[in-house]
Each structure stands twice: as C-alpha cells, then as structure tokens.
Amino acid sequence: MNFNEELAKRVEEIETILKNYLPKEEGNQKKVLQAMNYSVLAGGKRLRPMLMQEAYRMFGGKEEVIKPFMAALEMIHTYSLIHDDLPAMDNDEYRRGRKTTHIVYGEAIAILAGDGLLNYAFETAAGAFAMKPGEQRVEQAFSILAKKAGVFGMIGGQTADIIAEERKEPLTLEELLYIHENKTAALIQSALTIGAVLAGAGEGHILNMEKAGYDIGVAFQIQDDILDVTGDMEKLGKPIGSDEKNNKATYVTLAGLKQAQKEQKRLSEEAVRLLEKEGAGSFFLELVRSLVTRES
C-alpha cells in the first residue's frame, strides 16, 4: 500500500472507532445528541487521533485503552470548531462544505452541543478507568488531556486570538507564537504524549513527543502563513494574500518570508528527527512530513 492508501485506511478505522463512542440519538435531549454527532461526523482529517494511535503503537502499545482517548480528543477538537464558528466568534456559515452546527440547529443548541461534546469527551475518556481500574497511566493521560485542552492550552490560544482581533495594536511575534503553540500545537502535543504515556514510555521519551508536538503544530501554522503569500490559489482553494489584505499579523508579516521559511524548515526537520530517534516507522514519518510541508 502506498501512503495515500494507508492514510485512507487509517481514517476509515478511526471513523469506525469514533462512531462506536458517539451517543445514541434518543430521549428528550435528542436534538443536542444529533447536533453533536452531526458535527463529529462532518468529516475532517482525523489527524489528532491518528497521531495518538501512531505514538501509542510506536512505543509498543497494543491494547484497546487508547481508543476512548482517540475518540475524546476528536470530540474536543470538534467542540472547539462548533464554538469557534458561532456568530459571536468567527461567525462562519460553512465548514468543509457543510453548514455549520448553529446554522443547522440554531445557536442555543450549538452552544449546548459544544458543551455536550467537551463534557462527553471526558465521559468517554473516563471509560478507560473501567477498562483498567487503578491504572496510573490512564490517570496521567486524563490529566494531560484536560490540561492541553484548557485555559493553559487550546482555550488559552483561542482567547489570545480573539483578544488580538478585538484590539488595535498589532501582535508581537511572541504573542503570535503563543497563539500557534496553544491554539494548534497543544492538542497535537496531547495526542503524541497520551499515546506515549498509555504505552508506558519513560519520561524522556514523553518529553520528546511533547517537543515534536510543538514543532509539528507551530510548523503547520507557519506553513499556513507562508502559503498565504507563496501558495497556489487553485490548490489552496482561497485567494493568496488575504492575510495581508485583512491586516492580519502572521509569522511572515512579523518576521519576513525568509525567516518564516527558515524557522518552518528548522521545526519540521526537528520534528522528523525526534520521531525518527524515538523509532517512528515510515507511515508515521510520512504523515508528519505531509503535515508540515503541505501545499494546501
């Protein structure tokens, strides 16, 4: 199988796992359950659970306990998109070609569906306690998930992003990196470190995975900033130069294209080197390379 076939197979596997963990659409609260499932099943690359599974397997993990955490992480990612799309936030009507949750179900149900998914992520992950009662690795995985998703992780990044949009002064490079690190890299870090922790990897290995998660997340975002200047409009599916037109501070506007490309390359290479050192196989390495060097 080539990389793309392998990738498609993994996505299908992960969607099967996800569907198993989604709630049944019944009862007096049926509408919120429908909205939750609609949002999770709206597609997506399933990147975070995929990275978690790769890290788990790389460190020798072979059990079912990873599955509730894979599902939980995708639920958290999905809830953050539902709330991001709300009129009071980014006010988006479409995502991946489908109507956003609040357009289909109304704003009140969309807020509750986001809350419901965040909460259900923790309910789902708590299912791992029943699989391995008293297992400290599961407790540690739980703590990582909660921290990286929260105000000292993803929500922190979303907040800084909102504040930056509301205020007049431009972002500093330090603030931009804070947003990239927390809004994007934090969940990737949680994917890689939870995989390592559940497989029983030692502390040094876990720290390497956290570092690789930072590199991947930030390189991914800088690449986004670079593509807005150098990209191929047809591949991207959006106009080039839109960041500059919107006066949006990016790594390129703050540090220049050359420095952005240099830093992007450094982070990408470091991520691959770290994962190679930890023993990543060819699919895992190819997956990471495809993320950090994407052209769309």
d(CA 252, CA 279): 33
Nearer to its own copies, 125 or 292 (CB): 125
Q: How far is the CB of 217 from its own copies (least distance, A)?
A: 16
- Residue 140 lies near its own copies (rule: CB under 8 A): yes
Q: Which is nearer to its own copies, 13 or 135 (CB)?
A: 135
Smallest distance from the beta carbon of 72 to its own copies, in angstroms? 11
- Shortest spacing between CB 79 and its own copies, in angstroms: 8
Q: Which of 2, 136, 247, 282 binds its own copies (CB under 8 A)?
A: 136
Residue 100 token pair: 């956003």
108 lines the binding site for its own copies (CB under 8 A):
yes
Among 11, 41, 104, 146, binds its own copies (CB under 8 A): 146
- The count of residues interacting with its own copies (CB under 8 A) is 58
Region binding its own copies by CB under 8 A among candidate stretches 2-10, 115-123, 199-207, 225-233: 115-123
Own/partner contacts of 286-289, CB < 8 Å, gap of 24 or more, are 286/3, 287/3, 287/7, 287/50, 287/51, 287/54, 288/212, 288/216
- The DSSP code for 44 is -
User: CA-to-CA distance for 54 and 195, rounded, in angstroms?
Assistant: 7
234 touches 296 (CB < 8 A): no
Q: Which of 8, 19, 163, 238 binds its own copies (CB under 8 A)?
A: 163
Rounded Cα gap, residues 1 and 17, in angstroms: 22
> Up-side HSE of residue 1: CA atoms within 13 Å toward CB?
10
Instruction: For strands 98-99 and 94-95, give the pairing.
Output: antiparallel
CA distance 148 to 155: 9
Measure Cα distances from 123 to 7, 116, 120 in Å.
28, 10, 5
DSSP label at residue 25: S
* Residue 155 touching its own copies (CB under 8 A): yes
Q: Which of 83, 95, 180, 205 binds its own copies (CB under 8 A)?
A: 83
Cβ 40 to its own copies, closest distance in Å? 13
As a whole number of angstroms, the distance between CA 150 and CA 139 comes to 17
Q: How far is the CB of 145 from its own copies (least distance, A)?
A: 8
Options 2, 5, 16, 88; binder of its own copies; rule CB under 8 A: 88
Applying CB under 8 A, which of residues 114, 195, 213, 231 lies at the interface with its own copies? 114
Contact residues: its own copies, CB under 8 A? 23, 27-29, 31-33, 36, 79, 83, 86-89, 106-109, 111-112, 114-116, 118-120, 122-123, 126, 129-130, 133-136, 139-140, 142-143, 146-147, 149-152, 155-160, 162-163, 166, 175, 178-179, 182
